[in-house]
Amino acid sequence: MRNRQVVLKNHPNGVPLPEDFELVEGSIAEPGEGQMLVRNLFFSLEAAIRGWLDGKANYFEPIPLGGAIRGPSVARVVTSHLEGFEAGDIIFGLHHWEDYSLSDANTILLSKLSPEPDIPLSYYSGGLGGSGHTAYVGLHEIGKIQAGETVLISAAAGATGSMATQIAKLRGCKVVGVVGGDDKAELITQTLGADAAINYKTCGDLTAAVTEACPEGVDVYFDNVGGKTLDAALQCMNTFGRVIGCGMISDYNDQDNPTPIYNMWKLVEKELTMEGFLLYTYMDKVPAASQQLHEWVRSGEIKILENITEGLPNAGWAYSEMMRGATIGKNLVAMDLSSDEAEQ
């Protein structure tokens, strides 16, 4: 048996292209003491991966040319020498885009899952995994949302934004989403329950559009985008408003030329709180988030949007499609399993 990996072939210039990635084959590693071998089942495609492809460190070391792409996955334990884990366990953790990975106690985001039989396993890579947990923790721990407040969410049709939109509505907030297409605007208002949607590509003056949609002002801004959207949102915040810094995807494809922010004075004028966060810093909050999200999914109060690409060889293409803004909801790669593996 061989282990296929997707590695970085070229540093992308702008939006990553499928040819920036390469599928290679190697041997399957043997787990040592304190390690386990896992079979990856679903990969979560994350916008944050883009920051690791340019050869520059941020909060993780960059992925070198020829190095395997790292990303969160749902996986099944094949062999375990790690206390607390047994063969057959379903886990979540930051692994690599490959058939088989080694995992240990230091694996970031490592957790044992207890998937429910009536819930698709893929949900644990997104809505019931990192995306849902990020939205929940961001809104509650950073945004400190309260019923009756107005919440503005950018990239509201994306993996985290679509979950944040629904969670904020369930908490009794008015929700306005910023999206990049009329189809996405219709989706978040008609399916996800947002009170209003703004298509930033066609609305003209974004500050004016937010002001029109939120005449009472914005109490909480869940920022997945940064750049011009953040700049516009700052002008619309209420006094003591909170800005949740979750992502800056508008600059991910051109990190050498970040978008200037002109309205930072609003932090002082409106006495705003602006705080960025990474989910793995708040892992102690994940169990409560997971319990609540499960309840909402089971009751049908939350709908999980997925865009699943089949097969590891298509991972580079799927990532490129996501990073050019062509997709809706959570982007996943479902591993192409053998018939024996699929039956396990």
- Vertex 156: Cα angle to 155 and 160 (nearest 5): 85
Q: Classify residue 8 as exposed, middle or buried by CB count within 10 Å of its CB (0-12, 13-18, 19+).
A: buried
Do residues 40 and 101 lie in contact, with contact meaning Cβ atoms separated by under 8 Å? yes
pLDDT in tens, the chain (344 residues): 799 999 999 999 999 999 999 999 999 999 999 999 999 999 999 998 998 999 887 778 899 999 999 999 999 999 999 999 999 999 999 999 999 999 999 998 899 999 999 999 999 999 999 999 999 999 999 999 999 999 999 999 999 999 999 999 999 999 999 999 999 999 999 999 999 999 999 999 999 999 999 999 999 999 999 999 999 999 999 999 999 999 998 887 777 788 999 999 999 999 999 999 999 899 899 999 999 999 999 999 999 999 999 999 999 999 999 999 889 999 999 998 765 565 56
Q: At 285, is the secondary structure helix, strand, or coil?
A: helix
Do residues 156 and 164 lie in contact, with contact meaning Cβ atoms separated by under 8 Å? yes
Q: Residue 55's pLDDT is what?
A: 86
Q: Residue 250's pLDDT is what?
A: 87
Do residues 35 and 103 lie in contact, with contact meaning Cβ atoms separated by under 8 Å? yes
User: How big, in percent rounded to 5, are the helix, strand and coil portions of the chain?
Assistant: 30, 30, 40
Assigned token pair, 343: 């039956």
- Vertex 262: Cα angle to 257 and 267 (nearest 5): 120
Do residues 162 and 192 lie in contact, with contact meaning Cβ atoms separated by under 8 Å? yes
Q: Residue 57's pLDDT is what?
A: 76
How many Å apart are CA 130 and CA 92, to the nearest integer? 9
Assigned token pair, 123: 């949900």
How many Å apart are CA 131 and CA 330, to the nearest integer? 8
Do residues 71 and 40 lie in contact, with contact meaning Cβ atoms separated by under 8 Å? no
Q: Residue 84's pLDDT is what?
A: 95
Alpha carbon dihedral 97, 98, 100, 105, in 10-degree steps, equals: -20
How many Å apart are CA 20 and CA 12, to the nearest integer? 6
- Concatenated DSSP letters of 7-18: EE-S--SSS--G
